[in-house]
Structure 1
Amino acid sequence: MASEVQITLDCDDPAGLSAFWAEVLGYRLLDPPEGFESWEEALVALNVPPENRNDLSALVDPDGSGPRLLFQRVPEPKQVKNRVHIDVRAAPGLEGDARMSALEAEAERLVSHGATRLKRYEPAPPLGAGWIVMADPEGNEFCLD
């Protein structure tokens, strides 16, 4: 039996962080339960207290090929560097200056949506293609690759 993969991100603001990652990856918010027009309508009908309505948010790949992303509120802030991170493949198949130009353009776009640029790694042939390390609005590191 094949397993499905879900990537879970602990955060302070699930709705805000899921909106950022939806923009980055072209994902969309998981549809509300059947019979409801919106998540707000569903949460009210399910008697979820207002203070708990931003405890979870989930994104799905519109094509159905990528993993689901789940954002869950936790009480503690991020403490240290991620041991696992997301690589955003912003320049697949490109090399050299063309690759780095594409990565720079994507970095600039993501900064306009709340990301922070951390460091650029220059190409180091034969295997090092170059990449840019970024952080999402809550400080979780990811790479533009």
Structure 2
Amino acid sequence: MARDVQITFDCADPAGLAAFWAEALGYRLQDPPAGFDSWEQALAAMGVPPERRNDASAVVDPDGSGPRLFFQRVPEGKQAKNRAHLDVRAAPGLDGDARMAALEAAAERLVARGATRLGRHEPAPPLGAGHLVMADPEGNEFCLD
């Protein structure tokens, strides 16, 4: 039986990182609970003190097909290279120069949102199509593929 998957990020700023990944993936912030117009309103009604209202955030795929991404505040910063990372499919079906141009355009857009560019791997046929290595605003590595 297939299982639903949620991807969880430990981070310092859940709301900020959720906004970044919503932009990167074309996701949206998860709606607040029924009966509330905003998360701020819901958290206030739940008695969550203001200083704890950025302890968690989540983004979801608007069409419901992709996994939910959950962001939780932790006290420690990132310590080492990720052992697992996301590949953002920014150039599906493209090859060569067209592929790399599409990846570069996606990288520019994400750098403007706080990402860092870490490296470029040129196409190396037959198996290497080329990709860019990036880091999100908190240093989590991902690839534009």
Fold shared, TM-score > 0.5 on shorter chain: yes
In the other structure, the counterpart of 1:102 is: 102
In the other structure, the counterpart of 1:124 is: 124
Deviation for aligned residue 1:50: 1.1
Q: Distance in 2 between matches of 1:51 and 1:123?
A: 47
In the other structure, the counterpart of 2:26 is: 26
Overall identity of the aligned pairs, in %: 79
- The 5-angstrom pairing of residues 33-44 of structure 1 reads 33-44=33-44
Counterpart amino acid of 1:67? Answer: P
Counterpart amino acid of 2:83? Answer: R
- The 5-angstrom pairing of residues 58-97 of structure 1 reads 58-97=58-97
Deviations 1:103-142 (A, max 9, x none): 0111111111110000000111110000000000000000
TM-score in terms of structure 1 length: 0.98
Equivalent pairs counted in the alignment come to 145
TM-score in terms of structure 2 length: 0.98
The 3-state SS of whatever aligns with 1:100 is helix
Deviation for aligned residue 1:2: 3.0
Deviation for aligned residue 1:13: 0.1
- Structure 2 gap ranges (5+): none
Deviation for aligned residue 1:88: 0.3
Deviations 1:58-82 (A, max 9, x none): 1000010000000000000000000
Q: Distance in 1 between matches of 2:23 and 2:29?
A: 11
CA RMSD of superposed structures (Å): 0.6
